[in-house]
């Protein structure tokens, strides 16, 4: 038993990590702005195009602005911790690697195993959401798809005759398409991502610039129709729209000067996203009374309501294309965490094999692509979404605790970036993440417990004995 416990708490020496990453087989091609684009691509997605409207309509009213600010502050507490680690340990595993190096092997395994499910499920959820936009767009164009390919089993609208859903085919195709793009090589894939991010940011700026002239100040009154409690409840909801930099940090071994660029990219991506979120919320709730906001297509319907139907259609199309970047960022995150765990011996090293020409983990990428496609094709969005919440919050907790522990355990390590307000800022991240976890339903905890138990079985039967540290 003593040997088992010793194995669970053994830590990966930080000094070995840089040498290991240089021989990883991944190619360093990403600069600062490409990294920032990947981060922005992961943060700005359904949150700005639909979640902002839903929270304004149902929970916070115009105070959705406060909801995003509160969530952004809490997310920034974790972002500072990620930035310090990214400059100190520029390795593909992100939170998995940070936990392994500071808190021990089992803690690292647990968070890595958890993130594999969370990131894959996020890809599936976004693909399902995009398929809904796609079906609406086809309906607008008077194109009707066969019912069997239009949704997951059991999600048919009431009163609809003519058959039943068999598979959400568009969502399946989307997941496989992103896997194919990622397999083109990180340089080419990042170009694809950057173009879509520019398109998405351009559409958001268009919304802000045009919408500001349609604002009516009386729509801001009352500003807190649901009280401060509504604004804070809204913060718990929109929090899941203000992360994405965590998945971006998994690209550390594919970035040039990662110690210098990765911390900047993390903080820049969150700052850019928060500015756009705040301005977009001001425009949305100023254009339309919060009670009249469409929770499903907030901005396109808002512009329709003020006589700008063409712009509303442009926003709808841009939202579909722009949200593709979320799929890219989180699928990349899942594959890089898996790659790092396999390289460390916690999962079979067969998975860590990279393509000899494109220098990407092709085997893992296709497995994650097919896995997310199966979830997206055959699960309702609500059930898939319940798989995404708890893992990210636990990762935030682990990273925020680990950055404090390492600061006091190894103050001598050269840090490219230092988390300000130590230890208060990381502890704010911990407290806020724990608070948000209390909002999760018991079904979410049950699914997490099952996945965690499966992970424990794999760890004790395989990973503990095959770990690279154990072989040493």
Of 4-13, 34-43, 281-290, minimum mean pLDDT range: 4-13
| Per-chain mean pLDDT for the chain | 84
User: How do residues 131-140 score in pLDDT, each as one tens digit?
Assistant: 766 776 677 6
Q: What percent of the chain has pLDDT over 70?
A: 89
Question: What is the structure's pLDDT at 159?
Answer: 52
Position 163 scores a pLDDT of 60
Q: In the prediction, which pLDDT does 384 show?
A: 67
User: In this predicted structure, which of 38-47, 160-169, 273-282, 454-463 has the lowest mean pLDDT?
Assistant: 160-169
Q: How confident is the model at residue 164 (pLDDT cuts 50, 70, 90)?
A: confident
pLDDT of residue 379: 78
Report helix, strand or coil for 168.
strand
d(CA 276, CA 47): 11
Q: Each residue of 263-288: b (16+ CB within 10 Å) or e?
A: bbbbbbbbebbbebbbbbbbbbbbbb
467 class by beta-carbon count within 10 Å (0-12 exposed, 13-18 middle, 19+ buried):
buried
Indicate if the pLDDT at residue 370 is higher than 90: yes
> What's the confidence (pLDDT) of residue 236?
76
In the predicted structure, residue 19 carries a pLDDT above the cut 60: no
Banded model confidence at residue 224, pLDDT cuts 50, 70, 90 = very high
**pLDDT confidence of residue 365:** 95
> Which uninterrupted H or E stretch holds 134?
helix 105-140
pTM for this predicted structure: 0.86
Does the structural domain 25-154+162-471 have CATH classification 1.20.1740.10?
A: yes
Q: Which of 6-20, 380-394, 410-424 has the highest mean pLDDT?
A: 410-424
pLDDT at residue 314, rounded to an integer: 75
Please give the pLDDT value at position 108: 92
Q: Provide the pLDDT for residue 457.
A: 95
Placement of tokens 């708890």 in the chain: 390
Q: Buried (b) or exposed (e) across 188-215, using 16+ Cβ within 10 A?
A: ebbbbbbebbebbbebbeebbebbeebb
Model pLDDT for residues 306-327, shown as the tens digit of each residue: 777 777 677 767 777 777 888 8
Is 20's pLDDT higher than 90? no
Q: Which residue has the higher pLDDT, 313 or 123?
A: 123
Q: What is d(CA 235, CA 133) in angstroms, rounded to the nearest whole number?
A: 25
Asked if 417 and 450 touch (Cβ cutoff 8 Å), the reply is: no
pLDDT at residue 146, as a whole number: 77
pLDDT confidence band for 331 (50 / 70 / 90): very high
Residue 24 has pLDDT above 60, yes or no: no
pLDDT in the model for residue 340: 92
**188-210 average pLDDT score:** 87
Query: Which is higher by pLDDT, 151 or 30?
Result: 30
């Amino acid at each position: 038993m003593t040997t088992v416990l010793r194995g669970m708490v053994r830590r990966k020496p930080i000094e070995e990590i840089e040498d290991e990453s240089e021989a990883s087989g991944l190619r360093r091609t990403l600069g600062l702005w490409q990294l920032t684009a990947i981060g922005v691509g992961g943060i700005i997605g359904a949150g700005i195009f639909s979640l902002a409207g839903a929270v304004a309509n149902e929970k916070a009213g115009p105070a959705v602005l406060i909801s995003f600010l509160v969530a952004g502050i809490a997310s920034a507490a974790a972002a500072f911790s990620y930035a310090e680690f990214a400059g100190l340990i520029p390795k593909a595993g992100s939170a998995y690697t940070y936990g392994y190096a500071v808190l021990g092997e089992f803690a690292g395994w647990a968070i890595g195993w958890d993130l594999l499910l969370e990131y894959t499920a996020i890809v599936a959820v976004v693909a399902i959401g995009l398929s809904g936009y796609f079906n609406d767009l086809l309906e607008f164009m008077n194109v009707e798809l066969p019912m069997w390919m239009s949704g997951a089993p059991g999600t048919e609208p009431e009163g609809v005759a003519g058959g039943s859903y068999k598979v959400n085919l568009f969502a399946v195709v989307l997941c496989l398409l992103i896997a194919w793009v990622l397999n083109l090589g990180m340089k080419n894939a990042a170009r694809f991502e950057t173009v879509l991010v520019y398109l998405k940011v351009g559409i958001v700026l268009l919304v802000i610039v045009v919408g500001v002239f349609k604002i009516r100040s009386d729509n801001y009154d009352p500003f807190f129709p649901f009280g401060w409690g509504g604004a804070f409840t809204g913060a718990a909801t929109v929090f899941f729209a203000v992360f994405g930099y965590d998945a971006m940090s998994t690209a550390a071994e594919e970035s040039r000067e990662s110690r210098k660029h990765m911390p900047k990219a993390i903080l820049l991506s969150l700052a850019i996203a928060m500015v756009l979120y705040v301005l977009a919320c001001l425009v949305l709730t100023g254009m339309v009374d919060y009670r009249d906001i469409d929770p499903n297509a907030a901005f396109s319907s808002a512009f329709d309501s003020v006589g700008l139907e063409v712009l509303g259609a442009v926003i709808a199309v841009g939202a579909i294309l722009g949200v593709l970047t979320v799929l890219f960022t989180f699928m990349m995150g899942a594959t890089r965490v898996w790659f790092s765990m396999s390289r460390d011996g916690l999962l079979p090293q067969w998975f860590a094999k990279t393509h000899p020409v494109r220098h990407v983990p092709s085997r893992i990428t296709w497995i994650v692509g097919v896995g997310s496609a199966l979830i997206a094709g055959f699960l309702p969005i609500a059930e898939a979404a319940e798989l995404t919440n708890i893992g990210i919050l636990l990762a935030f907790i682990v990273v925020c605790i680990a950055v404090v522990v390492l600061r006091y355990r190894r103050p001598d390590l050269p840090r490219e970036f230092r988390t300000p307000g130590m230890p208060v800022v990381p502890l704010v991240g911990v407290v806020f993440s724990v608070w948000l976890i209390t909002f999760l339903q018991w079904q979410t905890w049950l699914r997490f417990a099952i996945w965690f138990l499966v992970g424990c079985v794999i760890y004790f039967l395989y990973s503990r004995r095959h770990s690279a540290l154990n072989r040493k």
